[in-house]
Chain A
Amino acid sequence: MKTNAPEQKRPESASEIESSAASWAAKADRGDLSFDEQAALEKWLGADTRRLGAYARALAVNAHFDRAAALGPGFSPDDFEEARPSPPPALKRRHFLFAGGAALAASVAAAVGFGALSAGAAVVTAKGDTRRIALAEGSAITLNTDSRIEPRFEERLRQVDLVKGEALFDVSRDRDRPFVVHAGDVRIRVLGTSFSVRRFDDGAVEVAVLEGHVEVGAAGELHPHSLRRGQRVRVSPRGDFRIERLSHAALERSIGWRRGIIDLQGMTLARAAAEYARYSDRRIVIADPAVGAMKVTGVYSTSDPLGFARAAALSLGIQAIPTADGVRLDRR
């Protein structure tokens, strides 16, 4: 968005760019561009990033209409002129389709989850994966990247060991059958609620409560801390408790990984790179401490460390250099 460019007469408007981009896409649609045309296109694209975007979009629109071929040679556009104002019924049917799909997926998940858990086996995720397991009694566990849980369900007690990583627990209420999560020496006991537990490499454990309340304590402790909705506790490796309050938005962001999203707001680049190392083997390497100390912002896809590195480089004015196993961030 080049709004402040006093030496230019006036910034090119988005719709002007759109027109030119459509013309270029029409030219490309003709077949291969000639050498001169190709050079002219590249020159045009290079002058403003918005042009590349508009051109990519025009090509996409053209590709979108490729499936018009399926209308067949008998197609007459006139038949469709009257058909325009009729989206509502189609919309309803579509919703129905989506709902059906979701229900089907849920029932498949339930079948898989139940089978796995009643056998007492471990559930694991590989780096970069998340997995949701629905339990027969109505609870659900969502595992984040590179994690492992070992459930032990008994008649009077539901127990899950978080052996490694991070998981979100949506526990169905059952007074007679408490739900207990063990994360190393930390024990979290619940009746019916939703909360996440993360084990850090240094031995610390973090518990965030999204709904209801939970009790967090060291294994065998008589007086556990009671944690309410919106609270997060960090238990240090030495067993110190630090409770903080999270806003609703921050709470939601903290479990963004469920949707494949990672929140890097206010983090340094170095920490963001470490966070990404949880999700992917593609490494983000930062040699210069001054670059590592730069602050990043925004929410990104957990599965795209390289995309993040590129976006960060773009916004911080540094460069992202591809390496054999990832990307290196450095000053220009």
Chain B
Amino acid sequence: MPSHDRTQWLARRILPHEGELRTWLSRRPLVGLDIDDVVQESYAILAGLGCVGHIRNPRTYLFEVAKSVVLMALRRSQVVSFSALTDMESLEVPCDAPGPDAIAAGRQELERIATFIATLPPKCREVFTLRKVHELSQREVAHRMVISESTVEKHMGKALRLLANAITYGGNSPIPASKACEDERARTETSGIGLRN
């Protein structure tokens, strides 16, 4: 289970680069691979590291971890052509060019945060604003809004899910539900082919 420090590190040093990582991964021919899976596996590795204090370039590190996750999965799947594997292996992690998702400083970052909060649905937004901007506890939020604590918790969960998408897809449009369903079907079909071979 990730410690408080590790969570802070992930929030500050990794999360800001996730959008760029997704863009990078989406340009690769990932047969039967889901980018969300790769991202989750990568976070799992980063959360499980013994220590991170010595990682000088977290962005590069994130990309390398994701790349190793993809390679492992490609090897295991056995439906991938050898050339796809070597393509991925020889792939250079983009470096040194801060992309549009790079960490913004001070006031700008705060504006970005405010903008994200503004995109939440009304009730969800009210809960999240009281909890994070006014720094009330979930219990205090429940009292203030005269709703149950479990409702506050549900709104918080929903806010975190929506905000995760907003941050990491560049804040434009989260993938619509129907599209996500298609992806899911495509994934299951590809793995079906893998079994037949």
Contacts and interface: CB of A to CB of B under 8 A. Distances in A.
A332 interface: no
Nearest to A259: B95
Interface stretch (A15-23, A186-194, A216-224, A267-275): A15-23
B84 interface: no
Contacts of B50: 306-307, 310, 322
Interface in A88-110: 90-91, 93-95, 97-98
A311 B67 CA distance: 12
A274 B47 CA distance: 27
A69 B135 contact: yes
Contacts of B100: 87, 91
A68 B15 contact: no
A185 interface: no
Contacts of A34: none
Interface of B: 1-2, 6-8, 10-12, 14-15, 18, 32-34, 36-51, 54-57, 60-61, 64-65, 67-68, 71-73, 76-77, 89-90, 92-93, 95-96, 98, 100, 102, 104-105, 108-111, 113-120, 125, 128-129, 131-135, 137-139, 149, 153-154, 156-161, 163-164, 167, 171, 180, 184, 187-188, 190-191, 194-195
Given A26-B159, A306-B49, A315-B72, 16 more contacts: A3-B190, A4-B191, A14-B36, A18-B40, A49-B40, A57-B15, A60-B10, A60-B14, A60-B15, A67-B109, A68-B132, A71-B114, A75-B129, A77-B120, A81-B118, A83-B111
Interface of A: 1, 3-4, 6, 10-11, 13-15, 17-19, 22-23, 25-27, 29-31, 41-42, 45, 49-73, 75, 77-81, 83-84, 87, 90-91, 93-95, 97-98, 128, 249, 252-253, 259-261, 265, 297-301, 303-304, 306-307, 310-311, 314-315, 322
